[in-house]
Amino acid sequence: MTGASVTGAEPSPDPTEATDAEPSDLTPIRIVLAKLGLDGHDRGIKVVARLMRDAGFEVVYLGLRQTVDMVVAAVEQEDADAIGISMLNGGHLTLAPRMVEAVRTAGLDVPVIIGGIVPDADIAKLLEAGVAAVLTPGTPAEELVRVVRGAVSGA
Amino acid sequence: MSDANTRRPATSHADTSDTAQAVTSEAAAAARAAYDAAFAASPVRTDVDFETLSGIPLEPVYGDAPFPGQYPYTRGVYASMYRSKLWTMRMFAGFGTAEDTNARFKELLRAGGTGLSTAFDMPTLMGRDSDNEWAVGEVGRAGVAIDTLADMEDLFADIDLGSVSTSMTINGPAPILLAMYVAVAEGTGVPRKALAGTIQNDILKEYQAQKEYIFPPRPSMRIITDMMRFTSAEMPKWHPVSISGYHIREAGSTAVQELAFTLANGFAYVEAAMATGLPIDEFAPRLSFFFNSHSDFFEEIGKFRAARRIWARWMKERYGAEQERSLLLRFHTQTAGVSLTAQQPEINIARVAMQALAGVLGGTQSLHTDSFDEALALPTEKAARIALRTQQLVAYETGAANVADPLGGSHFVEWMTDEMERRAEEIFEHLDDLGDGSILEGVYRGIDNGYFTGSIADAAYRFEREVNSGRRIIVGVNEFTEGDERSSNLLSIGQDTEDLQLKRLSTVKQARSDAEVAAALTRLQVDARDANTNLMPGFIDAVKVHATEGEIVAALEDVFGTYVEQVIV
């Protein structure tokens, strides 16, 4: 599966509304977004894909039911700067460290950002496991953009 | 059928509104007399007095015809509504192993719950066994893990399946779980015809919103029509499909989209079943619905009232249903999980209370109230109890259950009901055109061309932008944010669940006859290749010899194929 590139592909639903975050003057950051495992909750990641696109990111959304190897392959193929994984099924403690490990094993220096329902107590564990940042529901768009930019420049 | 497919019920706003309808005084008197007779024939609860807190006696209904229990049922499906029977307080539960969930079921029954509702874990929902590589990290996390009949026996241990009603929230592998339920019941001496309950089994909304599909749409519809035929013949108290808007709404749709897509899916199941030769009045009475109750109070109430009216009208006028029971849209409601906030989670208790009240004022037949901690994790036992208590408050303290359709006749509520119907009819018209006069074909095409997923994603994005810009205030999230103290007492499912379940599965596999399993799976494949053979008996035989859910699914994927969604952002 090659995924859907949403880079500037379609207008936002209401072009009269101002974007929440201004596009950057710098080289656009390319991020691969994916859902790992069987979790089918894709509302959040689709919204994030559009918000990031509006903020000037190049977004490659791979879709549902991806494996860590599929994500790594996409990152290599797209020469992506960051990985965003959405998890709402409670499997983050198992799957997120595997994602980080797969990225390291492939010799990539690409931050892994987790978004979704992650209890506070687990956030520290994920960061310890090498996840660059964890974004939970209700994170404002500007914060999302700031965190991803920070993770990329810190990588 | 072809004639029915070309007719669309009258949709003009002015002549469909109940209240705008000019009724002669004679007709009004006749409707009143019919209502009084219907009410007199209904049982009435004797545990409470139907009067206000101050002792003012209350009539069972106020206002004008058509009354509750009268076509088009905008005001409710029954004349006496909650005076006869409160809604079923059906709390959704499931986590960990079958034994863990069995304990939670018993706790809920002890606390006054009147129906069971089962949440399955992700591998079970997707038709994968716990030892499948895709299942890693998800076994028992978001629901209970069921691989074989042995797990199902544990799940319902010491619960009399002849006396409870059970709801199972599962779609792709629904026939396998229904087969297991029948097998468990028969193993304890309860005949299948005595089983009461609902299996969600609404595959269309999976392609549109929830994404827990396995096979492509058309073979999935064949399985569902097989189940409708089977339950129609052998399980008269079972609801074979719960047509669900809940997940469409959770995925980001508007209230109108939830209403219209759900009812369109309902029409699609009706057309599919009729196409197999099943008479509409034989299966329609057991179709049921499942809606979301979100935070916009009056919009939700208008949605519920409009849903009943649209369904009755379409069933009668377009599909030619003649039995009254075929016209009745009965529904389960769940409060909106997506409205719950991780920020200041305790205030979710108030959100849930208002959403629950909207469901009751909208005339729901059963209700699940979400636990306040669900934006953070699966609910703790205490949070689940508070959620159940919230329903009991609505039932016993607010007086909302005393009078049927208490908001009927309100200018705003009647307008909102009409407006919901008008906007839904526009969507039906689009789907009818897409399908060249068939809603079923229109729904298939809408799945193929991304109409459903695209319009839901658009609505979700619009909402997020409104929240981000501050045009829409979510208390505790983008306004009134001080005082956010996260609850630290969360339910967490450890790795030991997965280990236990793997051990269990391996034990069952060792004890069974592999030859019997292979024969059962081959028979299912043969049945699947013949569109005229009902698959249900084959499913029941396969689970009885302990074929796993994953083995059965894999055998059928060989015949039916596997659905892969087109990625649309």
DSSP for residue B196: E
Confidence of residue B253 (pLDDT cuts 50, 70, 90): very high
% of residues, chain B, pLDDT over 70: 95
Q: How many CB atoms lie within 10 A of CB B504?
A: 20
What's the CA gap between A47 and A49, in Å, rounded?
A: 5
Better-predicted residue by pLDDT, B316 or A4: B316
Does the pLDDT value for residue A13 go beyond 50? Answer: no
Per-residue confidence band for B489, with pLDDT thresholds at 50, 70 and 90: confident
Q: Is the dihedral of CA B134, B138, B142, B145 positive or negative?
A: positive
pLDDT, residue B96, reads 78
Task: Tell me which chain A residue has its CA closest to the CA of residue B128.
Answer: A38
DSSP B209: I
Who wins on pLDDT, B234 or A8? B234
- Three-state SS letters, B18-85: CCCCCCCHHHHHHHHHHHHHHHHCCCCCCCCCCECCCCCECCCCCCCCCCCCCCCCCCCCCCCHHHCC
Out of A38, A40, A42, name the one closest to residue B123 (CB): A38
Mutate to test the interface with A, among B120, B257, B567 (most CBs of A within 10 A): B567
pLDDT in tens, B117-172: 899 999 999 999 999 999 987 888 888 999 999 999 999 999 999 988 899 999 99
Residue B91 and residue B116: Cα distance in Å, rounded? 7
Q: Which of chain A's residues have a Cβ under 8 Å away from the Cβ of B138?
A: 37-39, 89-91, 94
Tracing tokens 């005949």 back to the chain, one arrives at B191
Residues of A in contact with B567 (CB under 8 A): 1, 3-4, 61-63
Other CB atoms closer than 10 Å to residue B230's CB: what's the count?
Answer: 23
Share of chain B above pLDDT 90, in %: 83
pLDDT at B320 over 50: yes
Give the closest of B137, B210, B462 to A14, CB-based. Answer: B462
Cα(B469)–Cα(A51) distance, integer angstroms: 12
Answer whether residue B19 shows pLDDT above 80.
no
pLDDT class of A2 with cuts at 50, 70, 90:
very low
**Confidence class of residue B319 from pLDDT cuts 50, 70 and 90?**
very high
Among the ranges given (A65-69, A118-122, B231-235), the one the predictor scored with the smallest mean pLDDT: A118-122
> Mean pLDDT lowest for which of A16-25, B23-32, B314-323?
A16-25
Closest CA to A12 of B427, B460, B338: B460
Distance CA B441, CA B324 (A): 27
- Taking residues B277-290, report their average pLDDT: 96
Name the pLDDT band for B206 (thresholds 50, 70, 90): very high
What are the beta bridge partners of residue A66?
A36
Facing residue for A37 by CB, picked from B134, B251, B458: B134
The residue of A7, A38, A52 whose CB has the most chain B CBs within 10 angstroms, and thus the best one to mutate to test that interface, is A38
- Radius of gyration of chain B from its Cα atoms, rounded to whole angstroms: 23
Distance CA B224, CA B268 (A): 11
Helix (H, G, I), strand (E, B) or coil at B278: coil
Phi, psi values for residue B455, rounded to 5°: -70, -30
pLDDT band at A154; cut points 50, 70, 90:
confident
Q: Does the beta-carbon distance from B342 to A40 stay under 8 Å?
A: no
HSE toward the beta carbon, residue B394, CA cutoff 13 A: 29
Quick one: pLDDT at residue B108?
Answer: 80
Per residue in B379-411, pLDDT (tens digit) is: 888 999 999 999 999 999 999 999 999 999 999
CA distance to partner chain B, nearest, from residue A41 (Å): 7
CB atoms within 10 A of CB A7: 14
Q: What is the C-alpha to C-alpha distance for residues A34 and A66, in angstroms, rounded to an integer?
A: 7
Amino acid at B549: E
| Residues B93, B105 contacting (CB under 8 angstroms) | yes
User: CA–CA separation, A40 vs A60, rounded Å?
Assistant: 18
User: Smallest Cβ distance to A136: which of B342, B378, B493?
Assistant: B342
Q: How far is CA B532 from CA B166, B174, B226, B236, B553, in A?
A: 29, 20, 9, 22, 20
State the pTM of this model: 0.91
**Mean pLDDT across chain B:** 93
